[in-house]
């Protein structure tokens, strides 16, 4: 023996000691221990304080259902609160801390709450803290929050990384106990693709916790051998430390694999991986959870589930006490007494609630049939229990068994309701998610023999359904253990509070009170008392509470029903859901071909969707963004500027009917566009609202290339694909995106032709005569590189867009700038682009806001009535064609030194700022370096007829009220002489 | 034809790295051209494909090999195929395909649209399962199979071009994000 609580034998590796600390105290355990088993082995019983009343609590279970032994693990930014000590695998150097106390764990100042318990029952804060009203938010709630809650977050960013992944299988088996292992062996030996997932770090489930035999050998040995065999099969994937947390549609399951939680450090690898498992069939072999019996003081450290006491003894070689008692309503509980007695632990008493003959002789034990435990004593741990007869028995551990509940949770994730089965006094799965079957204890088959047979059979049946060969042999053999459970939920004669939900501190009395106050539905009961709402989701509490509720209402438990189980089965860190989508990895970034070139020159970037675009290029000495932008505009208008416009959507359109297709897509006509020409096009939605514009060039008889706005590139493509496939499947037209294929540069300004003359290969004539405004064609640049040239202008200047395959984009930018040196060429960003288009009066996203009609843009005559097109009919609705409707015009401040406020609403002089007087709004504003004052575009009622009129641009948000003059939207070169020059 | 002095920059700057049992390398030098089959032109297309590239037309989701220009024909959607090949004129691959197919398809150059990354080695499936939702097991995704999918929000075309080798193609503008995502999947795995 290594200490008074550690036995000989068992699978614990005594040759290695693991040092760990609990609340700063140095302790040691061994490989194979959980933190809980190591604490018990060191005689630590007080592990934490309870949520509400700060009552001393210890280890209650040996699994993921643990409500009490919640600790903080690790330190600093790695600190993780509310970790169940029963599933935390021990490693060398583990640091654990108890939680939820003020002062010390043994002398918690907030234990005063326990004395105030009569005032803190279910729903107390709904009643107690009603007055004065304002105190709830400012006083009561902060105080309650400060004293409640469990562990503390570190308050720092999580330093670990997380990942996600996707797995596929014929058969997913959830749980690697006897049923799961039998199923995996049957399916694996038949050659099926199998995933076997278990939340434990050792597969085998209860076989490791019991002394049952399988195929004539110890269950634990058989399980280990089965796992070895499965591990050798290349189509079987074993996922230990993996909790299947949810059942979703189409056989998809969510599973959390804890990859490094059992290691001292993650070493840069993902701590946890959230798997999405695509299964053709699934077998739920999730086992069962033991339930307690409620009696006075049943939350004291030392009171534990009987199966857990057995697990600690058989699997971990740990005695949960040195003088142990048993309180049970079934035969299974008696096995705890037998197993402990075999280990040499003193079993002092067996109290069986059933009024029948003793199940077995246990030497030295006081056996009380028809007995009741009514109270416990012991400040920080159990010292004594009292029976209904008044008898007192000294114990340091009381093992309690109220029967077992099948773990039906995953069967309910599609809305299935569990059904009550009287024979085992428990809920079993009802309607199952498609593709799922249940085997073993999860379906109420509690004996080892039944679990093995059911698991084996479920696998063979699943393979049959999938049409896969089953070559599984016979199911492993074991014995059927007796259970004989007699429902017994709580001790009516209890003195002191009898606890149902240990994590949320809910008692039998709370449930009775909730009923007394009119709560009849279990869903209401849950929310009023908070029973089952803690991180353990009431795994040890729910059924007991339902039984109490049923008693109160005079209904059966079956009639009372359960609350709804939803994913996840056990807590999943938010970080695992986020996976690697943190910080810069949250989403991808799209870069233009000239991005690195721009970055090297100190460009300031702006996000445009996923794109990063150069916004402006500051030069030394420029301290304010508008200095850069003004310079870029003036240099472009004065000589030549270059802008990367690769982000525009580009769609290659080919087919015998491509022209007819475009004629129907665009509101304006495309039937007459000649080869070698470009045309501006406006697209309407089905409802007649303008949603995108751009240019389309005709490269050949059956070949067009369209540009869209950056933001609508995908939407336009999608809509056109829909039109092609669904609206007009008879047209021979084919689409493919070439947005990524081509690097595209606007070259604008009076010297743009001269600059391009140095870039475009000399055999291509780009004179005004040979290549006029709105011409396009294929050219060679820089000595033979393939390119396309479009003579189009967004700035209003003589301008071109030059396009090369993306791999040449960066080099072309360098070549253009080098060739432009003699012209003082400038690279300009999106701000200068915006200024120039506002000066020119071009509509952009600010104007195309989803409410805009062609008429509002002054383009109503473009909507051809000689043909059909998307949106044509609905664009004729009267309200969209009112004579006094909104029209796009320009605005300038009456006092030229004032800046215009974007988003301002237009009001007549003297009108009150009220909705009824609203005449429109300012969509875009810019400082025009050319004009030397602020300019704006906007929609105002009957705008064209009101040119010259003065109105107010009223901005209630910024508190601005500016007198503005209505002018033409074309601030510069209204006749377009520059762009045709 | 004159050799352009313009420097061509590969989408991933020629990235090449081996981590543990997985090798990652940018594939450059291959041309990619889409071919759309005109309505009613299936027979003519099949004949032109056989004549011009020595290849049969694959079903959507499958690929075939041609006996000229190391061509591989990828079935992308019912009327669209991608042709991956060594172009005799690297700057004008669409014209090369147009010539080979004699106008039996509408062709579009896609060479620069997609960054091409080959991921290969014994650990390839383990790395890809962190990022690819498709089932890449032999029975579900045999050699030659091709699919459009999504990895970390990015469009991807995946072609299994060997027993332990996959060609991944993702849009050029986000190629660095894509490479980072794939590289991280490999790094997350290696010991």
pLDDT in tens, A725-739: 999 999 999 999 999
CA A846, CA A536: separation in Å to the nearest integer?
51
Structure confidence at residue A862 (pLDDT):
86
A634 and A660 in a single domain? The answer is: no
Query: Chain A 725-754, CB below 8 Å of chain B: which residues?
Result: 730, 732, 734, 736-742
A892 and A815 in a single domain? The answer is: no
Interchain contact A817–B (C-beta under 8 A): no
CB-CB neighbors (< 8 A) of B187 in chain A: 268
Judged by CB atoms closer than 8 Å, whether chains meet at A807 and B112 is answered as: yes
Instruction: Using alpha carbons, list the distances in angstroms from residue B111 to A66, A104, A158, A944, B153.
Output: 58, 68, 41, 49, 22
Instruction: Using alpha carbons, list the distances in angstroms from residue A800 to A132, A598, A751, A755, A776.
Output: 72, 20, 11, 11, 9
A142 and A172 in a single domain? The answer is: no
Instruction: Using alpha carbons, list the distances in angstroms from residue B16 to A207, A542, B182.
Output: 49, 57, 13
Among A737, A763, A779, residue at a domain's last position:
A737
Of A480 and A318, the one with more pLDDT: A318
Q: Choosing among B87, B92, B108, which should be mutated to test the A contact, i.e. which has the most A CBs within 10 A?
A: B108
Query: Where residue B191 falls among pLDDT bands split at 50, 70, 90?
Result: low
Interchain contact B87–A (C-beta under 8 A): no
If you average pLDDT over every residue of chain A, what do you get?
94
Judged by CB atoms closer than 8 Å, whether chains meet at B137 and A193 is answered as: yes
Candidates B6, B11, B114; nearest CB to A812: B6
CB-CB neighbors (< 8 A) of B180 in chain A: 585
What average pLDDT does this structure show over A392-414? 97
Which DSSP string do the residues of A408-434 spell out, in sequence order? -GGGGTTSPPPEEEGGGTEEE--S--T
What average pLDDT does this structure show over A787-800? 96
A235 and A208 in a single domain? The answer is: yes
Q: Does residue A852 belong to any structural domain of this protein?
A: no
* Contact assessment for residue A531 and residue A525, using Cβ atoms and an 8 Å cutoff: yes
Residue A963, domain CATH: 2.40.30.110
Whole-structure pTM value:
0.94
Judged by CB atoms closer than 8 Å, whether chains meet at A806 and B113 is answered as: yes
Q: Which of A591, A592, A589 is nearest to A744 (CA)?
A: A592
A642 and A653 in a single domain? The answer is: no
Candidates A269, A646, A732; nearest CB to B38: A732
A49 and A184 in a single domain? The answer is: no
Among A737, A755, A773, residue at a domain's last position:
A737
Query: Where residue A861 falls among pLDDT bands split at 50, 70, 90?
Result: confident
A167 and A235 in a single domain? The answer is: yes
Judged by CB atoms closer than 8 Å, whether chains meet at B80 and A734 is answered as: yes
Q: Choosing among A172, A576, A588, which should be mutated to test the B contact, i.e. which has the most B CBs within 10 A?
A: A588
Interchain contact A650–B (C-beta under 8 A): no
Percent of chain A with pLDDT over 90: 86
* Contact assessment for residue A208 and residue A223, using Cβ atoms and an 8 Å cutoff: yes
Judged by CB atoms closer than 8 Å, whether chains meet at A782 and B4 is answered as: yes
Interchain contact A700–B (C-beta under 8 A): no
Q: 3-class DSSP state for residue B10?
A: coil
Q: Does residue A939 belong to any structural domain of this protein?
A: yes
What average pLDDT does this structure show over A547-571? 92
A176 and A139 in a single domain? The answer is: no
Query: Where residue A305 falls among pLDDT bands split at 50, 70, 90?
Result: very high
Interchain contact B153–A (C-beta under 8 A): yes
What average pLDDT does this structure show over A293-304? 97
CA A142, CA A56: separation in Å to the nearest integer?
24
Q: Which residues of A323-337 are buried (b: 16+ CB within 10 A; e: fewer)?
A: bbbbbbbbbbbbbbb
Residue A459, domain CATH: 3.50.50.60
Q: Does residue A777 belong to any structural domain of this protein?
A: yes
User: What is the per-residue pLDDT across A811-834, written as a single tens digit (0 to 9) for each?
Assistant: 999 999 999 999 999 999 999 999
Structure tokens at A69: 């032994």
Judged by CB atoms closer than 8 Å, whether chains meet at B9 and A811 is answered as: yes
Q: Does residue A91 belong to any structural domain of this protein?
A: yes
Q: Does residue A846 belong to any structural domain of this protein?
A: no
Interchain contact A764–B (C-beta under 8 A): no
Structure confidence at residue A482 (pLDDT):
84
What average pLDDT does this structure show over B80-103? 95
- Residue A747 is part of which domain span? 590-647+741-836
Enumerate domains of chain B plus CATH numbers.
Answer: 16-28+113-189 (3.30.1360.120), 31-112 (3.30.70.1520)
Interchain contact A699–B (C-beta under 8 A): no
Judged by CB atoms closer than 8 Å, whether chains meet at B129 and A166 is answered as: yes
What are the start-end ranges of the E strands in A635-754? 641-644, 649-654, 678-684, 690-700, 703-708, 734-737, 742-748
Q: Does residue A232 belong to any structural domain of this protein?
A: yes
Judged by CB atoms closer than 8 Å, whether chains meet at B171 and A590 is answered as: yes
- In the predicted structure, residue B4 carries a pLDDT above the cut 90: no
Query: Chain A 227-286, CB below 8 Å of chain B: which residues?
Result: 268-270, 273, 276, 278
Candidates A268, A610, A740; nearest CB to B112: A740
Q: How far B85 CA sits from the closest chain A CA (Å)?
A: 17
- In the predicted structure, residue B3 carries a pLDDT above the cut 70: no
User: What is the per-residue pLDDT across A224-261, written as a single tens digit (0 to 9) for each?
Assistant: 999 999 999 999 999 999 999 999 999 999 999 999 99
- In the predicted structure, residue B190 carries a pLDDT above the cut 70: no
Which residue from A minimizes the CA distance to B9?
A: A807
Query: Chain B 54-73, CB below 8 Å of chain A: which residues?
Result: none
A760 and A820 in a single domain? The answer is: yes
Query: Where residue B172 falls among pLDDT bands split at 50, 70, 90?
Result: very high
Among A737, A761, A796, residue at a domain's last position:
A737
Q: How far B67 CA sits from the closest chain A CA (Å)?
A: 26
CB-CB neighbors (< 8 A) of A805 in chain B: 8, 91, 109, 111-112
Query: Which residues, listed in sequence order, are joined to residue A644 by a DSSP beta bridge?
Result: A745
What average pLDDT does this structure show over B122-127? 96
Residue A127, domain CATH: 3.10.20.440
Interchain contact B2–A (C-beta under 8 A): yes
What average pLDDT does this structure show over A324-345? 95
Q: How far B2 CA sits from the closest chain A CA (Å)?
A: 5
CA A19, CA A33: separation in Å to the nearest integer?
12
What average pLDDT does this structure show over A606-613? 95
- In the predicted structure, residue A1 carries a pLDDT above the cut 50: no
Interchain contact B152–A (C-beta under 8 A): yes
Residue A783, domain CATH: 3.30.1360.120
Interchain contact A486–B (C-beta under 8 A): no
Q: 3-class DSSP state for residue A558?
A: helix
Which residue from B minimizes the CA distance to A759?
A: B6
Interchain contact B80–A (C-beta under 8 A): yes
Q: Does residue A458 belong to any structural domain of this protein?
A: yes
Q: Does residue A9 belong to any structural domain of this protein?
A: yes
Percent of chain A with pLDDT over 70: 99
* Contact assessment for residue A741 and residue B112, using Cβ atoms and an 8 Å cutoff: yes
Query: Chain A 571-630, CB below 8 Å of chain B: which residues?
Result: 580, 585, 587-593, 610-611
Query: Where residue A125 falls among pLDDT bands split at 50, 70, 90?
Result: low
- In the predicted structure, residue A695 carries a pLDDT above the cut 60: yes
CB-CB neighbors (< 8 A) of A808 in chain B: 4, 6-9
How many C-beta atoms surround the C-beta of residue A423 within 10 A?
Answer: 9
* Contact assessment for residue A195 and residue A283, using Cβ atoms and an 8 Å cutoff: no
Q: 3-class DSSP state for residue B28?
A: coil
Judged by CB atoms closer than 8 Å, whether chains meet at A810 and B9 is answered as: yes
Q: Which of A786, A827, A784 is nearest to A805 (CA)?
A: A786
Structure confidence at residue A4 (pLDDT):
78
Q: Report the domain count for chain A.
A: 5
Judged by CB atoms closer than 8 Å, whether chains meet at B1 and A810 is answered as: no
Counting one residue from A and one from B, how many pairs have CB atoms under 8 Å apart?
Answer: 151
Interchain contact A812–B (C-beta under 8 A): yes
Query: Chain B 12-41, CB below 8 Å of chain A: which residues?
Result: 34, 36, 38-40
Instruction: Using alpha carbons, list the distances in angstroms from residue A443 to A423, A438, A446.
Output: 13, 6, 8
Query: Where residue B1 falls among pLDDT bands split at 50, 70, 90?
Result: very low
Judged by CB atoms closer than 8 Å, whether chains meet at B11 and A812 is answered as: no
- In the predicted structure, residue A601 carries a pLDDT above the cut 60: yes
Query: Where residue B2 falls among pLDDT bands split at 50, 70, 90?
Result: very low
B144 burial level (CB within 10 Å; 0-12, 13-18, 19+):
middle
User: What is the per-residue pLDDT across A138-197, written as a single tens digit (0 to 9) for each?
Assistant: 887 777 777 666 788 899 999 999 999 999 999 999 999 999 999 999 999 999 999 999
A746 and A610 in a single domain? The answer is: yes
Per the listing, tokens 């045309």 go with A679
Query: Chain B 116-145, CB below 8 Å of chain A: which residues?
Result: 129-135, 137, 140
Judged by CB atoms closer than 8 Å, whether chains meet at A656 and B10 is answered as: no
How many C-beta atoms surround the C-beta of residue A267 within 10 A?
Answer: 8
Query: Chain A 151-190, CB below 8 Å of chain B: which residues?
Result: 161, 163-168
Start-to-end CA distance of chain B, whole Å, equals 51
A894 and A785 in a single domain? The answer is: no
A207 and A151 in a single domain? The answer is: no
CB-CB neighbors (< 8 A) of A737 in chain B: 113
């Amino acid at each position: 023996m290594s200490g008074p609580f550690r036995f000989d034998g068992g699978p614990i590796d005594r040759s290695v000691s693991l040092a760990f600390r609990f609340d700063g105290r140095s302790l040691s355990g061994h490989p194979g221990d959980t933190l809980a088993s190591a604490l018990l082995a060191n005689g630590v019983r007080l592990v934490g304080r309870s949520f509400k009343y700060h009552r001393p609590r210890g280890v209650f279970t040996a699994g993921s259902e643990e409500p009490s032994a919640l600790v903080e693990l690790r330190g600093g930014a790695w600190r993780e609160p509310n970790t169940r000590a029963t599933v935390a695998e021990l490693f060398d150097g583990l640091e654990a801390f108890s939680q939820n106390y003020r002062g010390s764990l043994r002398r918690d100042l907030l234990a005063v709450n326990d004395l105030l318990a009569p005032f803190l029952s279910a729903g107390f804060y709904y009643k107690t803290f009603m007055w004065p009203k304002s105190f709830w938010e400012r006083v009561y709630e902060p105080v309650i929050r400060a004293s409640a809650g469990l562990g503390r977050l570190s308050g720092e960013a999580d330093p670990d990384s997380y990942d996600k992944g996707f797995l596929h299988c014929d058969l997913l088996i959830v749980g690697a106990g006897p049923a799961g292992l039998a199923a995996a062996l049957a399916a694996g030996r038949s050659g099926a693709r199998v995933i076997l997932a278990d939340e434990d770090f050792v597969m085998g489930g209860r076989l490791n916790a019991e002394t049952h035999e399988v195929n004539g050998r110890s269950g634990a040995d058989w399980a280990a051998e089965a796992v070895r065999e499965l591990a050798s099969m290349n189509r079987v994937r074993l996922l230990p430390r993996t909790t299947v947390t949810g059942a979703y549609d189409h056989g998809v399951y969510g599973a959390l694999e804890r990859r490094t939680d059992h290691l001292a450090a993650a070493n840069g690898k993902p701590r946890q991986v959230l798997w999405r498992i695509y299964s053709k069939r699934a077998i739920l072999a999730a086992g069962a959870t033991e339930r307690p019996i409620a009696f006075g003081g049943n939350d004291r450290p030392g009171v534990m589930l009987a199966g857990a006491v057995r697990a600690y003894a058989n699997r971990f070689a740990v005695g949960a006490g040195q003088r142990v008692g048993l309180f049970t309503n079934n035969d299974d509980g008696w096995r705890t007494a037998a197993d402990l007695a075999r280990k040499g632990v003193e079993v002092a008493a067996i109290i069986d609630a059933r009024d029948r003959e003793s199940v077995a002789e246990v030497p030295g034990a006081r056996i009380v049939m028809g007995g009741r435990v009514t109270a416990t004593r012991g400040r920080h741990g159990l010292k004594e229990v009292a029976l209904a007869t008044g008898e007192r028995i000294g114990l340091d551990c009381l093992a309690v068994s109220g029967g077992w509940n099948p773990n039906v949770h995953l069967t309910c994730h599609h809305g299935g309701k569990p059904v009550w089965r009287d024979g085992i006094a428990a809920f079993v799965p009802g309607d199952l998610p498609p593709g799922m079957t249940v085997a073993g204890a999860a379906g109420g088959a509690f004996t080892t023999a039944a679990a093995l047979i059911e698991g084996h059979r479920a696998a063979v049946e699943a393979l049959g359904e999938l049409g896969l060969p089953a070559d599984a042999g016979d199911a492993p053999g074991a014995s059927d253990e007796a259970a004989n459970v007699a429902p017994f939920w709580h001790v009516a004669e209890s003195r002191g509070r009898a606890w149902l939900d240990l994590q949320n501190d809910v008692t039998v009395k709370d449930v009775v009170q909730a009923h007394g106050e009119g709560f009849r539905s279990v869903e209401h009961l849950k929310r009023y008392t908070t029973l089952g709402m803690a991180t353990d989701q009431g795994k040890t509490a729910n059924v007991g509470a339902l039984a109490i509720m049923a008693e109160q209402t005079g209904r059966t438990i079956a009639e009372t029903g359960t609350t709804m189980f939803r994913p996840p089965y056990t807590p999943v860190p938010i970080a695992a859901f986020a996976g690697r989508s943190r910080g810069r990895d949250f989403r991808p970034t799209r870069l233009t071909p000239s991005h690195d070139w721009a970055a090297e020159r100190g460009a300031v970037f702006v996000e445009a969707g996923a794109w990063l675009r150069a916004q402006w290029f500051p030069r030394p000495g420029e301290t304010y963004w508008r200095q850069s932008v003004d310079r870029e505009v003036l240099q472009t208008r004065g000589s030549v500027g270059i802008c990367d416009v690769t982000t525009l959507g580009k769609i290659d359109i080919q087919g015998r009917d491509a022209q007819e297709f475009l004629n129907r897509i665009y509101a304006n006509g495309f039937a007459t566009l000649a080869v070698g020409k470009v045309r501006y096009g406006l697209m309407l939605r089905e409802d007649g609202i303008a949603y995108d514009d751009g240019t389309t060039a005709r490269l050949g008889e059956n070949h067009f290339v369209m540009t869209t706005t950056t933001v609508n590139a995908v939407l336009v493509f999608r809509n056109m694909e829909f039109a092609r496939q669904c609206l007009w499947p008879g047209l021979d037209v084919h689409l493919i995106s070439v947005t990524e294929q081509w690097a595209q540069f606007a070259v604008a300004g009076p010297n743009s032709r001269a600059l391009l003359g140095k870039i475009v290969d000399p055999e291509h004539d780009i004179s005004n005569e040979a290549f006029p405004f709105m011409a396009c064609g294929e050219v060679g640049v820089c000595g033979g590189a393939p390119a396309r040239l479009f003579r189009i202008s967004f700035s209003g200047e003589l301008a071109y867009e030059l396009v090369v395959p993306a791999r040449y984009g960066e080099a072309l930018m360098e070549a253009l700038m080098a060739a432009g040196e003699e012209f003082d060429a400038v690279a300009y960003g999106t701000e200068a682009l915006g200024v120039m288009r506002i000066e020119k009066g071009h509509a952009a996203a600010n104007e195309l806001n989803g409410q805009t009609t062609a008429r509002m843009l002054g383009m109503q005559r473009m909507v051809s009535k000689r043909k059909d097109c998307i949106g044509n009919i609905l664009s004729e609705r009267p309200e969209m064609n009112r004579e006094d409707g909104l029209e796009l015009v320009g605005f300038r401040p009456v006092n030229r030194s004032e800046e215009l406020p974007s988003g301002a609403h237009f009001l007549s002089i003297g009108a009150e700022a009220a909705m009824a007087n609203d005449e429109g709004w300012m969509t875009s504003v810019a400082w025009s370096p050319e004009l030397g004052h602020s300019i704006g575009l906007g929609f105002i009622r009957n705008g064209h007829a009101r040119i010259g009129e003065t109105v107010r641009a009223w901005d209630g948000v910024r508190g601005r009220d500016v007198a503005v003059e209505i002018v033409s939207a074309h601030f510069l070169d209204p006749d377009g002489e520059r762009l045709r020059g | 034809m004159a050799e352009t002095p313009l420097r061509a920059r590969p989408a991933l700057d020629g990235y090449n790295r081996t981590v543990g049992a997985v090798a990652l390398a940018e594939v450059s030098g291959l041309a990619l051209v889409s071919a759309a089959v005109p309505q009613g032109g299936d027979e003519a297309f099949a004949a032109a494909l056989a004549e011009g590239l020595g290849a049969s037309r694959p079903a959507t989701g499958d690929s075939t090999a041609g006996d000229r220009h190391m061509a591989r024909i990828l079935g992308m959607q019912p009327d669209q195929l991608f042709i991956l090949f060594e172009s005799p004129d690297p700057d004008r691959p669409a014209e090369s395909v147009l010539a080979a197919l004699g106008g039996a398809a509408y062709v579009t150059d896609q060479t620069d649209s997609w960054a091409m990354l080959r991921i290969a080695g014994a650990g390839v499936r383990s790395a890809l399962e962190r990022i690819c939702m498709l089932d890449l097991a032999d029975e579900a995704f045999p050699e030659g199979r091709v699919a459009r999918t999504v990895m970390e929000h990015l469009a991807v075309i995946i072609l299994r071009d060997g027993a332990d080798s996959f060609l991944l193609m993702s849009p050029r503008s986000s190629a660095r994000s894509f490479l980072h995502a794939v590289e991280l999947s490999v790094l997350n795995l290696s010991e």
